[in-house]
Amino acid sequence: MRIRRPFELELDYVRNMMAWLLFMAPPRDVLQLGLGAGALTKWSWRFLPPTRVTAVEASAGVIAACHQWFALPPPDERLRLVCADAGEFVARPRERGRYGVVQVDVYDRDARGPVLDSLAFYRDCRRCLASPGMLVVNLFGGDHRSFTENLERIVEVFDSQVLVLPPVAAGNLVVLAFSGPPLSVDSDDLFARADYLEKQWRLPGPAWAEALRHAIPGV
């Protein structure tokens, strides 16, 4: 985080986790699983004013550190912070069908791989999505054993409606999974949306669109 710009997204992979904006307008509700330093939660709260953000973090210490050191705002009518296990949270029946987007970045301090990556976990994530909705997952690079395992599970749960962004320099790959009608995007609309994201929020929309164009039906 830059102290003078605490709400900006500084890491490449974190910016890539906002690539869902290529395909969806900001929904009423976004769910963040894993708080980290709070970057995605803060950005969504600050720059997507129609959207309510729920962030789930298992560690009370991480939540406290984000408030003290990383400019995480206090809860309000648009920001809900939940100290709970993310796997247990998405399994709650009352959370089903509630979120337009679910963002998953669940690593422990050892970062050996996602701490939640079972088929049941991804099924629960999909159940939390409205239709249409999107799941966004941060995974380690393709040479890490956890990547193939997780990607196969996401593909199974989301009926192969899955796109993968190219890896960033640190090796992270962001997976986009779609819940709803078969994905079909007009090329002109995709690149117009990409330009809008760049102008509105300084997000690398054109780079995303170029990277994904050959994998999207109709583009």
Q: Write out pLDDT tens, residues 131-171.
A: 999 999 999 876 677 889 999 999 999 999 999 999 999 88
Question: Sign of torsion, CA 151 157 159 162?
Answer: negative
Q: Residue 103: which of 79, 129, 83 has the closest Cα?
A: 129
Active site residues: 105
User: What strands, in cross-sheet order, belong to the sheet with 173-179?
Assistant: 79-83, 52-57, 29-33, 99-104, 129-139, 173-179, 162-164
Which one has a higher pLDDT value, 31 or 145?
31
pLDDT of residue 141: 73
Q: What is the pLDDT of residues 178-188, one digit of tens each?
A: 999 888 888 99
pLDDT of residue 53: 98
Q: Report the chain's mean pLDDT, rounded to a whole number.
A: 93
Global model pTM greater than 0.85: yes
Cis peptide, bond prior to residue 132, ω within 30 of zero = yes
Residues 176, 165 contacting (CB under 8 angstroms): yes
Residue 31 DSSP one-character state: E
Q: How far apart are CA 36 and CA 66, in angstroms?
A: 8
Cα–Cα distances in Å, from 15 out to 160, 179, 214? 24, 22, 21
Which one has a higher pLDDT value, 16 or 216?
16
pLDDT of residue 32: 98
